[in-house]
């Protein structure tokens, strides 16, 4: 296996890609028009649930936490965009002569709100993120949360609040100064080769603040011999004057799967055309739920005559034409300060997807997943991130809906460790299973922060233990999957980069694939 790969951090992915996706181009075009002409921003989340972060956290593209290197805000005197364990200073105690205020020891009423620095982002997008409004008393807690809500959009490098004298005693003008950052980012960058694909390459890009309205619009592709995929995704975090969210996506894919990894001359081709349409609701600034409908057309070659043992190991698929129709209910709570390399806070997601003949699906299955991540700030600004994932599937789901061990593990000596790219498998492995458990830990040491091109750089070391199994064989064999069960301990090290054009990870594990 040989591969070089620069890939955006998977938590979260601002341009979320569901396990499989569908929406016609006309639906997406109509949806974009609706978002631009008919919506008004509100307080809900700024990224899709499947690969996203909440408004209580800084987006993976916001670089919300710059440790001690960012400018301090004029209210709490802290690095802009990061929580600290120090109690907040009283806002009124920090007002100076420069603020032209003399309101010490009295509550201040906000007379007006002034926005500065938003040359691309629409005014309403910023105002709807604020938890304080004109006519309300100054509340330090709400201002602190409002700052993180703004940073969580991924549209700004820094957010600073300050007060100015109002028209009379007891009144103050709230000044919100933002420094915008690039929002047209590279999500994924693929380049590699394997024993079954001489080369493959791909690119994914997203505009996270389309026309300054807070809409996320992105697409990507990956291509190799006998394998290719193309996808589009759009997400609007607020519709009109409601906390409703709308998402839509499209996937076109063509692949080739080995029937038996031990012999590369046995394989079947398949094609996928499908997508999703979802409606979400922001139940709180850090929480939301979503209901997503998925529809997909699948065409696969008829498998050749095989003996029972080989057929049992072959990827699950209905030969000929088939149809997938499912509904998924998902929940997310995200309080991380930075989804790329969080220093504190956590993210929890849970989802249930059900495909049934009632929805005219040829596949009948239910898929359950849950994921938890938490960040810890240690000495010297070092960060420790712990992630746990679990899931299982009941029924007979198509192989591309099943869990793939390489999506979770790092490099393992003597074993293929190349994950899927854009939902397409470019490796010789066909280890798809119904059960998965994964525990990942990585330690991050800050190297560089505060540059115009590279906002932050970390050296990291990580370890992962993951296990997959077949549900049917587990029920029949108490030892798991027998010879087919795998629970490898894998390791990785490298550099994480938060840059002007996106977040990237330079991984030693993938480089080792060049040699082993």
DSSP assignment of 228-249, as one string?
EEEEEEEEES-BTTBSEEEEEE
Whether a cis peptide bond, with omega within 30° of 0, leads into 91 is no
Q: Is the pLDDT of residue 55 over 70?
A: no
The confidence score (pLDDT) of residue 475 equals 55
Q: Is the pLDDT of residue 400 over 80?
A: yes
The confidence score (pLDDT) of residue 54 equals 31
pLDDT, tens digit (0-9, with 9 covering 90-100), for 344-362: 888 999 999 999 999 999 9
Q: Is the pLDDT of residue 59 over 50?
A: no
Q: Is the pLDDT of residue 202 over 90?
A: yes
Residues with Cβ within 8 Å of residue 72, at least 6 apart in sequence = 78, 79, 80
The confidence score (pLDDT) of residue 516 equals 64
pLDDT, tens digit (0-9, with 9 covering 90-100), for 60-94: 333 333 332 233 333 333 333 333 333 333 444 43
| Percent composition of the chain: helix, strand, coil (DSSP 3-state, to 5) | 15, 45, 40
- Mean pLDDT of the 334-351 span: 86
The confidence score (pLDDT) of residue 414 equals 65
Per the model's pLDDT, the better-predicted residue between 103 and 332 turns out to be 332
Q: Is the pLDDT of residue 374 over 90?
A: yes
Nearest 5°: the CA angle 399, 320, 253 is: 55
Q: Is the pLDDT of residue 476 over 80?
A: no
- Mean pLDDT of the 232-244 span: 84
As a three-state string, the secondary structure of 449-516 is ECCCCEEEEEEEEEEEEEEEECHHHHHHCCCCCHHHCECCEEEEEEEEEEECCEEEEEEHHHHHCCCC
Domains in the chain and their CATH numbers? 2-37+182-512 (2.40.160.50), 64-180 (3.10.20.310)
- Mean pLDDT of the 30-38 span: 40
What is the SS3 assignment for 203?
strand
Q: Which helix (H) or strand (E) holds 386?
A: strand 383-395
The confidence score (pLDDT) of residue 279 equals 96
Q: Is the pLDDT of residue 460 over 80?
A: yes
Taking alpha carbons only, the member of 2, 212, 254, 17 closest to residue 115 is 212
Per the model's pLDDT, the better-predicted residue between 165 and 262 turns out to be 165
Q: How does residue 473 score in pLDDT terms, banded at 50, 70 and 90?
A: low
**Percent with pLDDT over 70 in the chain:** 73
Q: Which of 23-32, 120-129, 385-394 has the lowest mean pLDDT?
A: 23-32
Average pLDDT over the chain reads: 77
Q: Which of 40-54, 143-157, 223-237, 445-459 has the lowest mean pLDDT?
A: 40-54
**Residue whose entry in the numeric block shows the structure tokens 């709100």:** 113
Sign of the dihedral through C-alpha 355, 356, 361, 364: positive
**Percent with pLDDT over 90 in the chain:** 39
Q: Is the pLDDT of residue 472 over 80?
A: no
Q: How does residue 35 score in pLDDT terms, banded at 50, 70 and 90?
A: very low
Q: How does residue 474 score in pLDDT terms, banded at 50, 70 and 90?
A: low
Question: What does the alpha-carbon distance between residue 334 and residue 284 come to, in Å, rounded to a whole number?
Answer: 10
Q: Which of 102-106, 297-301, 412-416, 445-449 has the highest mean pLDDT?
A: 297-301
For residues 16 and 10, is the Cβ–Cβ distance under 8 A?
no
The confidence score (pLDDT) of residue 477 equals 52
Q: How does residue 22 score in pLDDT terms, banded at 50, 70 and 90?
A: very low
Q: Is the pLDDT of residue 370 over 90?
A: yes
The confidence score (pLDDT) of residue 355 equals 97
Q: Is the pLDDT of residue 466 over 60?
A: yes
CB neighbourhood size of 490 (10 A): 21
Q: How does residue 498 score in pLDDT terms, banded at 50, 70 and 90?
A: confident
The confidence score (pLDDT) of residue 76 equals 32
The confidence score (pLDDT) of residue 395 equals 93
Burial classification of residue 302, based on how many CB atoms lie within 10 Å of its CB (0-12 exposed, 13-18 middle, 19 or more buried): exposed
DSSP assignment of 114-181, as one string?
EEES-SSS-HHHHHTT-S--TTSB--HHHHHHHHHHHHTTTSEEEEEEEEEE-SSTTEEEEEEEEEE-
For residues 52 and 13, is the Cβ–Cβ distance under 8 A?
yes
The confidence score (pLDDT) of residue 354 equals 98
The confidence score (pLDDT) of residue 86 equals 31
Per the model's pLDDT, the better-predicted residue between 457 and 262 turns out to be 457
The confidence score (pLDDT) of residue 105 equals 39
Question: What does the alpha-carbon distance between residue 148 and residue 339 come to, in Å, rounded to a whole number?
Answer: 12
The confidence score (pLDDT) of residue 70 equals 32
Q: Is the pLDDT of residue 101 over 60?
A: no
Q: Is the pLDDT of residue 176 over 50?
A: yes
The stretches of 305-386 forming alpha helices (DSSP H) are 308-313
- Mean pLDDT of the 470-489 span: 57
């Amino acid at each position: 296996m040989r591969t070089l790969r620069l890939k955006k951090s998977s938590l979260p992915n601002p341009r979320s890609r569901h396990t499989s996706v569908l929406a016609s181009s006309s639906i997406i075009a109509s949806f974009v028009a609706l978002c631009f002409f008919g919506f008004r921003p509100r307080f809900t989340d700024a990224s899709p649930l499947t690969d996203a972060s909440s408004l209580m956290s800084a987006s993976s593209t916001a670089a919300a936490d710059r440790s001690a290197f960012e400018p301090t805000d004029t209210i709490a005197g802290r690095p802009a965009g990061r929580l600290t364990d120090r109690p907040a200073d009283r806002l009124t105690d920090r007002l100076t002569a420069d603020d032209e205020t003399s309101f010490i020891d009295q509550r201040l009423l906000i007379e007006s709100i002034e926005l500065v620095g938003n040359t691309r982002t629409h005014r309403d997008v910023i105002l709807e993120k604020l938890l304080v409004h004109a006519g309300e008393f100054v509340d330090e807690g709400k201002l602190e949360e409002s700052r993180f809500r703004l940073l969580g959009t991924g549209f700004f490098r820094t957010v600073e609040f300050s007060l100015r004298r109002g028209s009379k005693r007891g009144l103050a003008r709230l000044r919100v100064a933002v420094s915008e950052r690039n929002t047209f980012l590279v999500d994924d960058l693929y380049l590699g080769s394997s024993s079954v694909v001489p080369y493959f390459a791909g690119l994914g890009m997203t505009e996270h603040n389309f026309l300054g309205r807070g809409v996320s619009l992105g697409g990507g592709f990956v291509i190799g011999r006998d394998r290719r995929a193309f996808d589009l995704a759009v997400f609007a975090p607020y519709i009109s004057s409601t906390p409703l969210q709308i998402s839509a996506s499209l996937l076109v894919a063509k692949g080739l799967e080995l029937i038996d990894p031990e012999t590369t001359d046995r394989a079947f081709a398949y094609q996928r055309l499908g997508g999703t349409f979802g409606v979400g609701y922001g139940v709180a600034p850090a929480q939301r739920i979503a209901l997503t409908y998925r529809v997909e057309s699948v065409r696969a070659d008829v498998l050749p005559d095989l003996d029972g043992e080989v057929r049992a190991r072959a990827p699950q698929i209905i030969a000929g034409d088939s149809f997938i129709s499912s509904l998924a209910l998902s929940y997310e709570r995200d309080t991380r300060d930075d989804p790329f390399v969080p220093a504190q806070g956590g993210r929890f997601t849970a989802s249930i997807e059900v495909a049934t003949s009632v929805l005219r699906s040829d596949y009948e299955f239910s898929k359950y997943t849950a994921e938890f991540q938490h960040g810890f700030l240690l000495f010297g600004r070092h960060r420790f991130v712990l992630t746990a994932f679990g899931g299982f599937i009941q029924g007979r789901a198509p192989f591309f809906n099943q869990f793939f061990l390489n999506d979770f593990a790092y490099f393992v000596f003597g074993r293929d460790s190349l994950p899927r790219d854009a939902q397409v498998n470019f490796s010789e492995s066909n280890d798809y299973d119904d059960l998965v458990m994964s525990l990942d830990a990585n330690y991050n040491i800050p190297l560089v922060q505060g540059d115009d091109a590279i906002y932050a750089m970390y050296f990291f070391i990580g370890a992962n233990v993951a296990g997959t199994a077949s549900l049917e064989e587990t029920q029949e064999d108490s030892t798991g999957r027998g010879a087919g069960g795998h629970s490898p301990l894998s390791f990785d090290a490298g550099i994480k980069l938060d840059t002007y054009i996106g977040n990237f990870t330079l991984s030693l594990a993938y480089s080792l694939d060049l040699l082993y």
